[in-house]
Amino acid sequence: MNRRHCAAAAITLVCTLTVLTAPTQAFAAPAPPPPTASPGAPKKSLEEVRKEIDALYLKAGAATDAYNLADEQTKKQSGEIVELAKAIVEGQAKIADLKSKAGAQAREQYRTGGLPPGAQLMLSDDPQMFMDGMNRVWQGQQAAKGVLGELTRTQADLEMYTKDASTNWKKLEANRIKQAKAKKQINAQIAAAKKLESQLEKEERARLLELEQEAEYRAQTAWLGSGALKEINREASERGKKAVAFATSQIGKPYVWGAEGPGSYDCSGLTSQAWAAAGRPIPRTSQEQWRQLTHIAIKDMRPGDLIIYHGDASHVGMYIGDGAIVHAPRPGRNVTLAGAGSMEILGVVRPDK
């Protein structure tokens, strides 16, 4: 049995044992009311708490994607501004040089009484000198036109560079505002989720994890029961194998929003770095991966492909074969293996096509 079959079998076995060993009353087990709850407030079951926490982390995931996209755009615009600044400096130096050349021509014309040397030679009685003078006049005129033409073009370029730099500064500031807003939303959602978990007893937190695993197992079982995996038997490409090897080697490292390694990752940080390691740079965020990469039917999926989850494309995992993915789940969890159908699948994309 190869490594992928072992991994998939292990996932199935763990999920099955979780269900078999769970107390029968667990799905309705009520959580104690939080310390701030009023005496008449209704008690929530652990399942309700789990769904509420999941919803908070989903919102945090969407905000994380918005933050990562704004961060990526900010870096790009900062780089463009640096290049434009260099072009402006070079343009200013070029204009100064061209003005110097034009000034030299004007001074020479003034020094010779308004006639360039070639024109003076035209007044000579010597036919050869006359012809040489004609040629020099023509060359002088062309040189003057060339300097003035280049000066005009360089000034136009400089104006365009300055305008582009101003536009990029505005975009940069707009994206910084987006980053700050997204960061605030992320921290608020994560703090709310952690507060809910902190109000649970140790045993309840352990049971909460079991409920998460049971929900994933039910979703995976339903997905497999639909026959989705029957036609999925394709081999990974060479780059896909490298991407899978990188992603699986990160198992056990913590999820940290906005992180892209090497010590921690968020979901799209893991997939983008895995494919970068395979020699194929891809967009940084799950939403941009969904928007820009080639869409693939689930039945045509192969290891290395990326499965995009939820209606807003706020989560991504890498398919590793046999119905399993490797992914960075959420804050408080580590990079791990999971069933490919354990979450709501939006679609599949292939980076190397």
- Give the residue numbers annotated as catalytic, written as ranges: 267, 315, 327
Spell out the residues 6+ positions from residue 92 whose beta carbon is closer than 8 angstroms to its own: 158
Spell out the residues 6+ positions from residue 23 whose beta carbon is closer than 8 angstroms to its own: 29
Tell the burial category of 65 from Cβ atoms under 10 Å away from its Cβ (0-12, 13-18, 19+): buried
Q: Is 306 helix (H, G, I), strand (E, B) or coil?
A: strand
Spell out the residues 6+ positions from residue 159 whose beta carbon is closer than 8 angstroms to its own: none
Name the nearest CA neighbour of 325 among 316, 333, 334, 314: 316
C-alpha 97 chain-centroid distance: 43
Spell out the residues 6+ positions from residue 188 whose beta carbon is closer than 8 angstroms to its own: none
Name the nearest CA neighbour of 162 among 93, 88, 79: 88
Long-range contacts of 204-207, Cβ-Cβ distance < 8 Å, separation of 24 or more: 204/29, 204/31, 204/32, 204/46, 207/26, 207/29, 207/46
Per the rule left: phi > 0, alpha: psi between -120 and 50, beta: everything else, 204 is alpha
Tell me, letter by letter, the H, E, C secondary structure of 153-217. Answer: HHHHHHHHHHHHHHHHHHHHHHHHHHHHHHHHHHHHHHHHHHHHHHCCCHHHHHHHHHHHHHHHH
Contact call for residues 284 and 331 (beta carbons, < 8 A): no
Name the nearest CA neighbour of 10 among 341, 324, 241: 324
Contact call for residues 264 and 253 (beta carbons, < 8 A): yes
Rounded Cα–Cα distance for residues 330 and 270 (Å): 12
